[in-house]
Amino acid sequence: MAEEEREPDDSPRLSSSSHSKNKEQSRWVMIVPEKIADQQLEDSSPDSQPSIIKLKHPKTESAAQFLICPKDKSIQEILSFQDSKGSWFIDNTVQEDGRLLMATNIDPLFLILPYLQSENNTKKHMFMELDQIVKDSSYPQCNRLVEILDHQTTCQICDSKGNEDFKVYRYSEEKTLAWLKSKVERTADYLSSSDISVSSGQCSSYVRSSKPSEVPREDCLRYAAGLISDYLHPSLSKKMFSNLGIKEETTKGKKVSENGNKTEEETTNGKRRPDENGHKAEEEPPLKKVRKSSSEPDEDYSRSFSMPQVKAVPTSKLTPGQKRLAKADKTGMKSLSSFFKKK
């Protein structure tokens, strides 16, 4: 990526400026879109300042860091790239942590999807207010997502009811799949118009070579869907693949080349990659890592061996009736030993 190479020229300016007001240890080099970096410099009110928050990653469900910008209602995913060795020179100091962080635009809908889906499971199709849906005690900052979502955006994946003042939402799988489909198609369009190689060497070349008649469009779609499934819970991504009529070819997380990374950002909001600019964050560094193209195999040879594990093996020989009983809702029922005494 060209941006990456040019970045060190820019970043020291910002890093050193932050350096003056922050502690030594909390210092990183991060590429952020220019407009966000500008906000950081000019804007003083803390509420509208871009800040780093910890949220549940929609796929892994573990913690990941995001840069939220309330002012332009956007959220950036933070990726980190680390060479095995490396440090930064910033002005006259050496920054030992050689990681390069990148903030790239992500569609906030991906981040609220897990909440919508889980509400959907528990409350059984109830319409709820958005700030009630997006509530998570382990990631309290997730309520900030609600600020940056507007009604129209949310309606892409939800049914909604109510008037201007009071709007309630309900997860709609149909809409979500349609939304994902349009995302995949847009990404695939971009992929086919760009010179990014989506076929051999990057996405299961073995399967591909055995079916030489495949049209490139299908490859683009599959590649695009793979990119997007990186932001989806495995169950949903499975549905997406079947909705698109594509066979999921990689069982593990996708292996991304540098190009892949770039398209990933295209995927999330259809915009161009944010401009590079150095920017320093105030909190702890992100945990996510950018996958490197060179260090990971392009194909997963173990796939064929891991497949049989998917088959469910009945662990006990319960009768169907016993199984049904085990699933019974026993809330509010006391044990019978509280009514009858032991003999």
Binding site for other proteins (CB under 8 A): 124-125, 317-319, 321-322, 324-343
Q: Which is nearer to other proteins, 311 or 334 (CB)?
A: 334
For residue 117, the minimal CB distance to other proteins (Å) is: 17
Distance separating alpha carbons of residues 127 and 159, to the nearest angstrom: 8
CA distance 254 to 290: 12
| Closest to 105 (Cα-Cα) out of 59, 69, 156 | 69
For residue 336, the minimal CB distance to other proteins (Å) is 5
Enumerate residues 6+ apart whose C-beta is below 8 A from 217. 188, 192
- Print burial letters for 52-77: b (CB count within 10 Å at least 16), e (below 16): bbbbbbbbeeeebbbbbbbbeebbbb
Across 47-150, the runs of DSSP E, i.e. the strands, are: 51-56, 63-69, 74-81, 88-90, 93-95, 100-106
- At its nearest, how many Å lie between other proteins and the CB of residue 320? 8
92 vs 316 by CB, closer to other proteins: 316
Structure tokens at 57: 């990653």
Question: Considering the complex, what minimum distance in angstroms separates the CB of residue 140 from other proteins?
Answer: 24
Shortest distance (Å) from residue 133 CB to other proteins: 17
Phi, psi (rounded to 5 degrees) for 211: -125, 75
For the bound state, the minimum distance from the C-beta of residue 326 to other proteins, rounded and expressed in Å, comes to: 7
Nearer to other proteins, 211 or 327 (CB): 327
Half-sphere exposure of 131 (CA within 13 A, CB side): 8
Q: How far is the CB of 329 from other proteins (least distance, A)?
A: 5
Nearest CB to other proteins, comparing residues 2 and 333: 333
Of the pair 305, 339, the CB lying nearest other proteins is at 339
Which of 87, 322 has the CB closer to other proteins? Answer: 322
Radius of gyration of the chain (CA): 24
In sequence order, the 6+-apart residues with CB closer than 8 A to the CB of 146 are: 130, 131, 134
Query: Structure tokens of 245?
Result: 């009529």
Tokens of 293: 């193209």
Handedness of CA 105, 190, 154, 140 (dihedral sign): negative
> For other proteins, which is the closer residue by CB, 161 or 324?
324
CB closer to other proteins out of 91 and 129: 129
Min separation Cβ 258 and other proteins, Å: 49
